[in-house]
Structure 1
Amino acid sequence: MMVLFNGELLPADAVRLPLPNRGLYFNDGFFETLVWEPAGLRYLPYHLARMQRAAAALGLHLPAALATGATLTATVRQLAATAQEPLQRIRLQLWRSGGGLYAPATADAEWLVTSQPFTATETPILRCDFAETVRTHASPVSFCKGPNALTYVLAARERQQRGLEELILLSGDGYVAETVAAAIGWIWQGAVYVPAEAAGGVAGTRLAHLRAVAATLGLPWHEGLYEPAGLLQAEAVFTANIAGIRPVQAVAGHLFNSETHPVLRQLQVAERTSG
């Protein structure tokens, strides 16, 4: 297996991360998960926007190889060319260079890109409930992936212990935020409802693309702070991440016809054909 480490294509077992490492010591960085296909990177504008926003929030300079859509695509293409499968799940990890204590000494960054075969997951979710042990917390970096990773580790542990397929996280104030590894939305009276970033969830790239698709269909899109009761009165519920859009058939014992709901099906079909 090959990886890209600071722009150099290397066998994975040849990579040696120098110490001190601020990503290891302080989680001083972020990561991005993308899908490579023969045409390039899916949802590229949304991923790039989130990366640029994350770098700005953390006070990091994006390396030139990652800083634009063209250079990011060219960079990932080098690694994708070493794989046999046409679809690849790409993980880009970026952390601040140098050492020091909490106060950083530089805005420069180091980075690592790895890949594995991509598998879409769009099957309906049959067992879902609200989290009992974990809450999200809005912060200047809660929109990006990485700084709050331990929250999702704990949430995934609860999901596993309760024998659920998915777990819905609430904010500290009790508003619907997201699931363990996906954005969440629901449909009610012909409109789409999604949690606002103020609930502390990650700003989903697939959800951003879905919003653009909904606009082309003329579907109303509402973003706000919603209590669980609002979700439970919905006609259809879904999750969205790079792996797929999944209908949620039951939440906390409340049943939905999400898989066959005409508005959700319309969104799914339009989203697949929009690229």
Structure 2
Amino acid sequence: MQDSEAFGLKLPNRGLAFGDGFFETLIFTENRLRLAADHCQRMQQAAAALYLKLPEPLATPEALESTLAELAAANNLPAARLRLQLWRASGGRYTPLTESAEWLATAESFVADDSPISKVDFALKTHSIYSPLSFCKGPQAWLYVRTAHERQQRGLDEIILCDAAGYVAEAGAAAIFWMKEEVLFTPSLASGCVAGVRRAQVLRAAQAQGIACREGLYSAQDLLAADAAFTANVAAVREVQQIGNVVYKRLSNCLSDLRAC
């Protein structure tokens, strides 16, 4: 463990130079790492896609939880939002010389926010882009920076990304779900959305309750025609009250069950 002021980054750094790596956002609360197995699986997939080898302290759900629990404890954080950044060790230009990865984990205080989202609209300046790496976090982070800037400039509480063909992909930093005639819908990964760990958990929870689930390519009109909608990421599941001028029904009882993890 190092104090942030004493931390120095070895250069050259392939993460800075080429974006040769990925990151993961995790929540530690109630003495456990939320969805540790899902996080580890996505990290393993991301590492494989980038031809990287996960370091031993992060390579299994048990090791990952132990490593990050130690970080939370060292920072006296009973509830922590954690960021795990991985990048390839130095050497080479576009062609890498190693599959070894270096990593950095940071922690900050976490306070849950499950409050409803009232002012939502579709992004006008940026669209999602499908790629072999769009399922993980990092390679296309600039998309979300642009989208967050637009959300801020337009005074929105949340913003919805579509792909270039107009199919709904995700919210600015969360998966998007909606209910229509008692069926749960969410965009497929083909839209360019992140394969969120909470997205997977919501689908599992819905299926366990006997709710029919559909993943696919859906237009903005499909979302606007829904009965109800909500967003989901590792930090929270939040009800969407309105997109543009469309007002949705309440989903309180259903959301209570889907928030369990």
The TM-score normalised by the length of structure 1 is 0.92
Q: CA deviation at 1:268?
A: 2.2
> Partners in 1 of 2:126 and 2:112 — Cα distance?
27
Q: CA deviation at 1:28?
A: 0.6
Q: CA deviation at 1:99?
A: 2.6
> Partners in 2 of 1:44 and 1:164 — Cα distance?
32
Which of the residues 192, 199, 204 maps onto 2:196?
A: 204
> Partners in 2 of 1:253 and 1:99 — Cα distance?
52
Query: For the Cα contact (< 8 Å) 2:31–2:69, is it kept in 1?
Result: no
Q: Quick check: 1:125 aligned with 2:117?
A: yes
1:153-190 per-residue CA deviation (whole Å, 9 max, x = no partner) reads 00001111111111100011110000110110100010
Query: For the Cα contact (< 8 Å) 1:210–1:267, is it kept in 2?
Result: no
> Partners in 1 of 2:74 and 2:85 — Cα distance?
19
> Partners in 2 of 1:268 and 1:39 — Cα distance?
24
> Partners in 2 of 1:57 and 1:140 — Cα distance?
7
Equivalent in the alignment of 1:246: 238
1:171-213 per-residue CA deviation (whole Å, 9 max, x = no partner) reads 1111000011011010001010000000001111111111111
> Partners in 2 of 1:232 and 1:268 — Cα distance?
19
Q: Quick check: 1:61 aligned with 2:53?
A: yes
**SS in structure 1 at match of 2:151:** helix
Of 69-78 and 142-151, deviating more is: 69-78
Residue correspondences, number: 261
Which of the residues 248, 257, 260 maps onto 1:270?
A: 257
Matches within 5 A, 1:30-49: 30-49=22-41
Which of the residues 130, 134, 138 maps onto 2:130?
A: 138
Query: For the Cα contact (< 8 Å) 1:97–1:108, is it kept in 2?
Result: yes
> Partners in 1 of 2:169 and 2:209 — Cα distance?
25
Matches within 5 A, 1:34-113: 34-113=26-105
Query: For the Cα contact (< 8 Å) 1:135–1:170, is it kept in 2?
Result: yes
Q: Quick check: 1:236 aligned with 2:223?
A: no
> Partners in 2 of 1:80 and 1:267 — Cα distance?
32
Q: CA deviation at 1:18?
A: 0.6
> Partners in 2 of 1:59 and 1:266 — Cα distance?
43
Query: For the Cα contact (< 8 Å) 1:177–1:201, is it kept in 2?
Result: yes
Query: For the Cα contact (< 8 Å) 2:179–2:226, is it kept in 1?
Result: yes
**CA root-mean-square deviation:** 1.1
Q: After the TM superposition, which parts of structure 1 deviate over 3 Å for at least 4 consecutive aligned residues?
A: none
> Partners in 1 of 2:191 and 2:152 — Cα distance?
24
Higher strand residue share: 1
> Partners in 2 of 1:266 and 1:45 — Cα distance?
27
Q: CA deviation at 1:270?
A: 1.8
1:226-268 per-residue CA deviation (whole Å, 9 max, x = no partner) reads 00010011000111012211111111211112xx23xxx3432
Q: CA deviation at 1:25?
A: 0.7
Query: For the Cα contact (< 8 Å) 1:192–1:219, is it kept in 2?
Result: yes
Q: CA deviation at 1:52?
A: 0.6
Instruction: Report percent identity of matched pairs.
Output: 47
Of 43-52 and 191-200, deviating more is: 43-52
